[in-house]
Amino acid sequence: MTMGEQGARILIVDDEPQIRKLLKVTLQAHHYAIHEAATGEEGVQQASLIHPDLIVLDLGLPDMTGLEVMGRIRDWSSAPIIVLTAKDREEDKIVALDSGADDYVTKPFSMGELVARIRVALRHVAKSVNEPVLQFGELAIDLAQRIVELNGERVKLTPTEYDLLKVLVANAGKVVTQRQLLQQVWGSQHSEAESHYLRVYIGHLRKKLEENSTQPKLIVTEPGIGYRFSPRD
């Protein structure tokens, strides 16, 4: 754990006392400072008071939906939000991600997986995209000069391939939906119906960056939802 993660303030918004207790005990053991809220309204108030470094948000709250809570918090905060959902439908996950969530974990969930997702989200915040050169293991991306190097050698990317990679690395560790990628790379007029664009260009990137493009470890597919850039550093 880096110094930036040590002592990070995490707000848990969940109406189930058992889950809040489990999360609090586990996350405190990882040296996080934990705050709790049992309702959406309390969650919004707590978020405005303590300015958490990260929020774990249950989508099924008694007084308002998790999406409403997220909408109110997103009006002023860009802190990472990891949603907990009992819904396993792709559509629900996509709506949460498009509404401002950084990641999602489906109930029942593994605490080990949740802690790993929290670490990635906090590392992403610490590693600002304002840095001129992003380093992920053997992969280096010079944002100022639009240069990509792998193992010290220049990788030739088309402008579209570079733009796609830039969006993915800017959201390292996060799931980026197909719609988000299409709109940020090709423009707002493109929709999920044109997701074949993504498959083609993601395939190109994998051939140029992955050790084995048929078993990608860097650019991972989230089936039916989008893609996640999983840095190896």
Q: How many domains does the chain have?
A: 2
Which phi-psi region, left, alpha or beta, contains residue 151 (left: φ > 0; alpha: ψ -120 to 50)?
left
Peptide bond into 108 cis (omega under 30): yes
Q: Considering the domain boundaries, does residue 4 fall inside one?
A: no
Mean pLDDT calculated for residue range 163-190: 85
The tens digit of pLDDT for each residue in 82-126 reads 999 887 778 888 889 988 899 999 888 889 999 999 998 888 776
How do beta strands 147-150 and 153-155 pair?
antiparallel
The tens digit of pLDDT for each residue in 223-233 reads 989 999 987 65
- Residue where one domain finishes, among candidates 126, 150, 165: 126
The tens digit of pLDDT for each residue in 110-122 reads 899 999 999 988 8
> Residue 168: which of 115, 118, 126, 218 has the closest Cα?
218
Mean pLDDT calculated for residue range 3-21: 84
- Residue where one domain finishes, among candidates 126, 157, 179: 126
Query: Range of 212's domain?
Result: 133-229
How much is the pTM?
0.71
- CA dist 32 and 185 (Å) reads 36
H helices within the chain, ranges in order?
17-29, 40-50, 66-74, 90-98, 111-126, 159-170, 178-186, 196-209
Assign residue 114 the CATH number of its domain: 3.40.50.2300
pLDDT band at 127; cut points 50, 70, 90: low
Same domain flag for 114 and 28: yes
pLDDT at 2 over 50: no
Mean pLDDT calculated for residue range 45-52: 91
- Residue where one domain finishes, among candidates 78, 102, 126: 126
Q: HSE on the CB side for 135, CA within 13 Å? A: 4
pLDDT at 12 over 90: yes
Q: Considering the domain boundaries, does residue 3 fall inside one?
A: no
Assign residue 158 the CATH number of its domain: 1.10.10.10
